[in-house]
Chains A and B, each alone.
Chain A
Amino acid sequence: MMPYMLLAPAVLVTLFIVFFPMVQAVYTSFYDLILWKPNASRFVGFGNYVKLFADPVFWTALGNTAIWIGLTVPLQMGLGLLTALLLNREFPWRGLARALIIIPWALPSVVIALMWRWIYDPNTGVLNDVLLYLSVVQSAVPWLADPDLALYAIIATLTWQGFPFFAVMILAGLQGIPRSHYEAASIDGASAWRQFVHITLPGIAPVLATAGLLRVIWVANSMDVIFVMTGGGPGYATHTLPLYAFVRARQNLDFGYGTTIAVTFTILLGTIVAVYLARTMREVER
């Protein structure tokens, strides 16, 4: 009985604040519920889901979510890998560099979002000033107001926010590769590139996979930066699925439809989560 009593507080609290609300969410998604007129609430079965699949904004948001994850995570990982490889070398101010690089990770997302809005500002933003000065662009670019650019501008921001996480995880992986492997390879005459492909990459592959999966889930879920930077606009250009659910529920208090979007998104994300869980639980077994 002992382990169950020790676990009881944590399990009870999470049942109450996570699982009960989750069940409530699924239940709400079968209702037509506008929060400010609760008496008009009625059961519609899968009505909300049928409506969702006919909703063009849903498909736009789904597409944006795919671009959002498909670009952000590889960019974060690439920049993180480069940073980790550099930080793994010997140089005098390595500790300091390592500490300074994680600053983006420590900042609140609302601060990051506002900060980048200021940088991207079409009239007074520093990015346009610099680009104009270097003659990269001819006139000021409205980064967040242009529907073709806004999503990519936010992806750049999130890449900046997330690469330290990868750098730190990969650095830990790199430090686990025995030096003797490299020494043996260089005695055999392997070039730096071949050493990278045959020793470094296989050595950090498990870390890349774990960190990558974790980040896909995290990036998919994170909408606070988008919400503060554009609120999903212009139009629906920067709507991702979780943001659409949130905006819909917040602005129209349309909780029935909002939770339907949230539940659908959770199911889609579930496949990625399942892969991650299977991996992690395998490691716990050992």
Chain B
Amino acid sequence: MNRPSTLRRILTTDLPVLLIVLFAMAPFAWMVLTSLTPTAALNATGVSVSPSGWSLDNYARLLQQTSFLGNMLDSLIIACGTVVLGLAVAVTAAYAFSRFRFAGRKLLMLQFLLINMFPIVLLILPLFVLMRKAGILDTHFGLILANATVAIPFAVWMLTSYVGAIPKSLDEAAMIDGCSRLSALRRVVLPLTMPGIISTGIYIFITAWNEYLYALTLGGKNVRPVTVAIQTLIGEYQIEWGLLAAGAVVGAMPATILFLLVQRRLIGGLTQGAVKG
């Protein structure tokens, strides 16, 4: 076999990949450029592509004139709450699925897969009615519960495959040495599954942070996550694209950075677990 020359590799591989990378990044890059262009310049001459026309004016306005930081805090509370709730109930469930064979196991696994497929619109309307009756509309708790409808089945499936990858002989050995089931879970399985638990938790965080429809419907004046807040930056009479772009960049930042940090491990788990993306 003759080695393809470097030039040929650049033409057939590097260049097409570069085009796709540009396609993937261009819209967000354009958003960043928009956010750096002051509104007056944006209306007069359009988006500034050269650094000389850039300023942090839109970001300053975002932080000073809007409640954006408060909205970030709302999102943070909701996303963290969802991670804690989702992981707490999913860890033991995943252990049960991967270590025991019991009546109804298949059926229960199926039900967790099934609820992952439910249209959000089917749940959002009755959840609104029920939460209104329970008086938890427009609270962090309500939105954590709503996000858990997605997070719990996802976490159960991911963690079942992670726990399943750890040899049974390890917890059996621990039990022979005198550990109970639960302490074998806590001392042997949990530490070994920790990387999987962390990446599942991060994925739940990203999904809950990015969630929009529940936030819009079940949130309100008191609790307004960033995804909803970004949309309210659209002015009343005309759209303020500069301010909006700044909000979008700041709002998207936490989830995007987390995603890039853990992408390799996440993708390994996602392709194994074949769950919702």
Binding site for B on A (CB under 8 A): 2-4, 6-7, 9-11, 13-14, 17-22, 24-25, 28, 35, 79, 82-83, 86-87, 89, 91, 93, 97-112, 114-116, 118-119, 124, 126, 129, 160, 164-165, 168-169, 172, 186, 207, 210-211, 214-215, 217-218, 220-221, 223-224, 227-228, 242-243, 245-246, 249-250, 255, 258-259, 262-263, 265-266, 269, 273, 276-277, 280-281, 284
**Can you list 6 A-B pairs with a CB-CB distance of less than 8 A?**
A4-B96, A13-B85, A97-B21, A214-B274, A281-B106, A284-B106
A13 lies within 8 A of B119 (CB)? no
Known interface pairs A106-B255, A107-B28, A109-B210; A217-B117 also in contact (CB < 8 Å): yes
Interface size of B as a range: 35 or more
9 residue pairs, one from A and one from B, having the closest CB atoms: A106-B259, A108-B210, A21-B126, A3-B100, A10-B93, A6-B96, A24-B126, A3-B96, A6-B92
B271 near A172 with CB under 8 A, answer yes
Interchain CA distance A110-B120 in the complex, whole Å: 16
- Kindly state the separation between the CA atoms of A262 and B256 in the bound complex, as whole angstroms: 32
Q: How far is the CA of A262 from the CA of B130 in the complex (A)?
A: 17
Given contacts A10-B90, A262-B121, 15 further A-B contacts (CB under 8 A): A9-B89, A17-B127, A17-B148, A91-B17, A97-B17, A102-B24, A108-B251, A108-B252, A114-B230, A115-B28, A115-B30, A129-B46, A215-B277, A218-B277, A277-B114
Contact check, B206 vs A106: say whether CB atoms are below 8 A apart.
yes
| Residues B95 and A108 in contact, CB atoms below 8 Å apart | no
Which residue of chain A lies nearest to B43 when distances are taken between CB atoms in the complex?
A124
Q: Is B256 touching A22 in the complex (CB atoms < 8 A)?
A: no
**Complex: A172 Cα to B265 Cα, angstroms:** 12
Say yes or no: A17 contacts B110, CB within 8 Å: no
Interchain CB contact under 8 A, B13 and A89: yes
B233 to A: closest C-beta gap in Å: 9
Chain B residues closer than 8 Å to A249, beta-carbon distance:
125
Known: A108-B210, A160-B23, A259-B125. A273 touches B114 (CB 8 A): yes
B30 & A119 in contact (Cβ 8 Å cutoff): yes
Q: Which residues of B contact A79 (CB under 8 A)?
A: 20
Q: For the complex, would chain A's binding face be called helix, strand, loop or mixed by DSSP majority?
A: helix
A210 and B274 form a contact (CB under 8 A)? yes
Which residues of the other chain, B, contact A102 by a CB distance below 8 angstroms? 24, 259-260, 263, 267
A119 to B109, CA, bound (A): 43
Q: Who on chain A is nearest to B156 by CB?
A: A10
A3–B212 touching, CB < 8 Å: no
- Report A-chain residues with C-beta under 8 Å of the C-beta of B210: 107-110
B61 on the A face (CB < 8 A): no
Q: Is B115 interfacial (CB-CB < 8 Å)?
A: yes
Shortest CB–CB separation between residue B40 and chain A, in angstroms? 14
The answer for the CA separation of A14 and B46 in the assembled complex, in Å, is 50
Candidates B28, B96, B263, B267; contact of A172 at CB < 8 Å: B267
Query: B115 to A18, Cβ gap below 8 A?
Result: yes
**Is B119 in contact with A221, judged by CB distance below 8 angstroms?**
yes
* Interfacial residues of chain B within 245-271, with CB under 8 A of chain A in the complex: 245, 248, 251-252, 255-256, 259-260, 263, 267-268, 270-271
Is B59 an interface residue when CB atoms closer than 8 A count as contact?
no
In the complex, which residues 104-158 of chain B have their Cβ closer than 8 Å to any Cβ of chain A? 105-106, 108-115, 117-127, 129-130, 145-146, 148-149, 152-153, 156
A20, A207, A210, A246: the one contacting B124 at CB < 8 Å is A246
Q: How far is the CA of A161 from the CA of B161 in the complex (A)?
A: 27
CB B88 to nearest CB in A, in angstroms, measures 7
- B213 interface residue per 8 A CB criterion: yes
Smallest Cβ distance from A26 to chain B, in angstroms? Answer: 9
Within 8 A of A (CB), among B149-206: 149, 152-153, 156, 181, 206
**Could you tell me the distance between the alpha carbons of A79 and B92 in the complex, rounded to whole angstroms?**
39
Q: Which residues of B contact A259 (CB under 8 A)?
A: 122, 125-126
Q: Tell which of B112, B244, B271 has the most Cβ of chain A within 10 Å.
A: B271
Interface contact B110-A281, CB-CB below 8 Å: yes
* Alpha-carbon gap, A97 to B22, bound state (A): 10
| Residue among A10, A169, A227 with max Cβ neighbours from chain B (10 Å) | A10
Task: Report if A83-B20 is in contact (Cβ < 8 Å); known contacts: A13-B152, A24-B126, A111-B252.
Answer: yes
A7-B92, A172-B267, A246-B121 known; A277 vs B113 contact (CB < 8 Å):
yes
User: Which A residues touch B36, using CB under 8 A?
Assistant: none
Measured in the bound complex, the distance between the Cα atoms of B226 and A111 in whole Å is: 10
Distance in angstroms from A206 CB to nearest chain B CB is 10
Contact A118-B31, Cβ < 8 Å, known A9-B92, A14-B115, A17-B127: yes
Chain B CB count within 10 A is highest, among A86, A215, A223, A269, for A86
Partner of A100, one of B14, B21, B120, B149: B21
